[in-house]
Structure 1
């Protein structure tokens, strides 16, 4: 069993000794090996670790590089594999954003419930399947809906999928570029998000 405090402790190690930070979380080290061996990162596109809301990297470069090395993936800072960064990297981010810490989408139950799943469905350190495997399945299901918002951006096809809202209005969002998943997170007000999209562009740190 891990806790947010254990994630914070690992994050504190990350800038200087990223390998030790990952090894301090055995389930994370094992998940990276499992997902790499199964080729699961191939379902995900590219993302920058420089967050568009805060204008800075939300992970130290040393951890960015170590995560990609463990996953057997090539990357050129600050752009890397979106699944690796958004699913596992965000767990070790302590950078505040207007929406809270990046990890909360996996630690809280809002997103899981909005995906029609049970509480704890995205708990990183429990379950028979890796977190990436569970998130990929949920995102793929959302992106297969018939009511997606499809856009063309500089020769790329993008897709925004919004699930059915919970009673409190929380909705799950998944985003893909050229058929590859980029991100998934909970949305408090889907109508406001739709009305604020503006013209087509790459969104949510896609690169």
Structure 2
């Protein structure tokens, strides 16, 4: 069975047997333990698992709870650690969105290339570094750009960073609230995104 096929099987299993699903993916169980021991989740802020485009949770409650337990993090459904949910949780989400499955940002090369990285740089099972450590480094680098957009939302600082566009227009986006990373994903057209930002607000499921 290929790694992607094993992930598909685990995603279906996770709906009712989250512990067994995670255990069926040794690289995922090991990554969660390694990231927890290293304190890597502390670089990430809070996010709701209720997606703003779908209007519903993209992970089942039992999986949400199991992931946080394995990461040694406290959370109150539906709000949890953004790194845990957006990086590892999204890998096991089967909920379709207008932009496809949430996991695609890690399984395809669009985001990696837009971050100036090589193909496969965000492959979940590629070692030796965990996926979270690789994503954290890429997002932090984007957020350090001097041309990032800073906003203040009810006294909270937010930052939207967009990388350099690829020839096809794809751009990497990273978003942070109060200095903590919330998300990163590829954007098809940065100009369209910029023009549609509107008034400052918490964005992309940040809480």
Taking structure 1 as the reference length, the TM-score comes to 0.99
Is 1:108 matched up with 2:94?
A: no
Quote the Cα distance in structure 2 between the aligned partners of 1:124 and 1:11. Answer: 14
Contact 1:156 1:178 survives alignment (8 Å): yes
Distance apart, 1:191 and its partner CA: 0.1
Is 1:47 matched up with 2:47?
A: yes
Quote the Cα distance in structure 1 between the aligned partners of 2:121 and 2:89. Answer: 18
1:98 counterpart residue number: 98
Give me the CA root mean square deviation: 0.8
Quote the Cα distance in structure 1 between the aligned partners of 2:84 and 2:205. Answer: 13
Distance apart, 1:8 and its partner CA: 1.7
Distance apart, 1:64 and its partner CA: 0.2
Quote the Cα distance in structure 1 between the aligned partners of 2:76 and 2:2. Answer: 30
Quote the Cα distance in structure 2 between the aligned partners of 1:183 and 1:6. Answer: 25
After the TM superposition, which segments of 4 or more aligned residues of structure 1 sit over 3 Å from their partners? none
2:31 counterpart residue number: 31
Unaligned residue ranges in structure 2 (runs of 5+): none
Q: How does 1:1-207 map to 2 (within 5 A)?
A: 2-207=2-207
Q: Cα deviations across residues 100-159 of structure 1 (Å, max 9, x unaligned)?
A: 000000000000000000000000001210000000000000000000000000110000
Quote the Cα distance in structure 1 between the aligned partners of 2:73 and 2:29. Answer: 15
Distance apart, 1:174 and its partner CA: 0.1
Quote the Cα distance in structure 1 between the aligned partners of 2:11 and 2:48. Answer: 19
Taking structure 2 as the reference length, the TM-score comes to 0.99
Distance apart, 1:14 and its partner CA: 1.1
